[in-house]
Structure 1
Amino acid sequence: MTATGFTVAPGRPDADAFRSALGRFATGVVVVTGLPGDGTRPSGLTVNSFTSVSLDPPLVSFCAGRDSRTWPGLRTSARICVNILGAGQEQTSRRLARSDPDKFASVAWSGSPSGQPVLDGALAWLECSVEAEHPAGDHHIVVARVHALGAGDDDGPLLFYRGGYGRFVPADGTAAP
């Protein structure tokens, strides 16, 4: 029996079909930031594969592409900061998703308790240390321990769905908080 409206092919799915199917799962958007190297120049990467892992101890995870030019530097930071983006931060997400060496040029931020970049307007931020990193296909699964956190104004989350950005609208049609 096959599911209605879906193509079922035996064997391994091709990359385009796999991406299309997974693109139907809405995700939030975060930017992982840090101060690698000499600790004076901020760096960051946009991620939509973020999740909580454990409450005790407080752990989160995200995936970074193996071909990322940003992650190798960020992993050298003593701490990193996961910034949960709000609905109005699409341009910040796009800017920090690029491989431009000066992508923080017009991004406003302040320091977390250890000085890591907390993006202005983020819904929440989590200051973390990398606990473990696991190779997984074309990505690294990063598990991070949360040491400090904070929350800002809540204009609703920035969402990513089927290759585009959007915002959350509750089922009752009311505006997001």
Structure 2
Amino acid sequence: MTAPLQAQAPDFSAAEFRAALGMFATGVTIITARAADGRLVGFTANSFNSVSLTPPLVLWSLARSAGSMPDLSAGSHYAVNILAASQKALAERFAARGVDRWEGVDWAPGVAGAPVLEGCVASFECFNRSRYEEGDHVIFVGEVERCAHRAGVAPLLFHGGRFYTEHPL
């Protein structure tokens, strides 16, 4: 019997890995939820992806050390808000520490109270279906209960540490 295969130790630094990951252009989202005590929770993320059409599933990940981890792990619902190009400042605010992320932000309560941000190109209101601990992050899989989108609105993109918007080829 042979021993199970295992990955080899990386020959690159965490900084090199992060820089290489940054070469994959992504959309920009803000994940939002309502904590059990009623507080609004939200942060900028680009780790969003589709999983399945039937049932409708999406995923995103969050660092285990994130301050919002207890609220998102325990909560039943959250929203994934895909930002428009005009929402760059909002992306930066929800990525910052020590600021009131919600001051002056227009939003409406979605499924089970999860905040849905106004002006986004799309939103996915999700039941917190499952979580998987991998490395220093937790992968959240959400079952989409409601979604919406605005055709013809340019999305906010992130690549190589900078924000962009789309340009048709």
TM tier relative to shorter chain = 0.7 to 0.9
In structure 1, give the amino acid aligned to 2:15.
Answer: D
Mapped to 2, the partners of 1:113 and 1:63 lie a distance apart of: 21
Mapped to 2, the partners of 1:70 and 1:11 lie a distance apart of: 30
Determine if the alignment matches structure 1 residue 28 to structure 2 residue 27. Answer: yes
Mapped to 2, the partners of 1:72 and 1:101 lie a distance apart of: 20
Give the unaligned 5+ runs of structure 1: 1-9, 172-177
Match in the other structure for 2:84: 86
Between stretches 99-108 and 113-122, larger displacement belongs to: 99-108
Match in the other structure for 1:46: 44
Give the match's secondary structure for 1:75: helix
Match in the other structure for 1:6: none
- TM-score of the aligned structures, taking structure 1 as reference length: 0.84
Give the drift of 1:43.
1.1
Give the match's secondary structure for 1:134: strand
What number of residue pairs does the alignment pair up? 161
Alpha-carbon displacement from aligned partner over 1:91-141 (angstroms, at most 9, x marks no partner)? 111111123363111221112243321111111111101111111111111
Mapped to 1, the partners of 2:79 and 2:137 lie a distance apart of: 19
Match in the other structure for 2:164: 166
CA root-mean-square deviation: 1.7
Give the match's secondary structure for 2:71: helix
In 2, are the aligned partners of 1:70 and 1:99 still within 8 Å (CA)?
no
In 2, are the aligned partners of 1:28 and 1:157 still within 8 Å (CA)?
yes
Identity of aligned residues (%): 39
Give the match's secondary structure for 1:88: helix
Match in the other structure for 1:146: 144
Determine if the alignment matches structure 1 residue 118 to structure 2 residue 100. Answer: no
Alpha-carbon displacement from aligned partner over 1:26-51 (angstroms, at most 9, x marks no partner)? 00011110111222x31101110100
Match in the other structure for 1:98: 96
- TM-score of the aligned structures, taking structure 2 as reference length: 0.88
Mapped to 1, the partners of 2:133 and 2:72 lie a distance apart of: 16
Greater share of helix: 2
Mapped to 1, the partners of 2:77 and 2:98 lie a distance apart of: 22
Give the unaligned 5+ runs of structure 2: 1-8
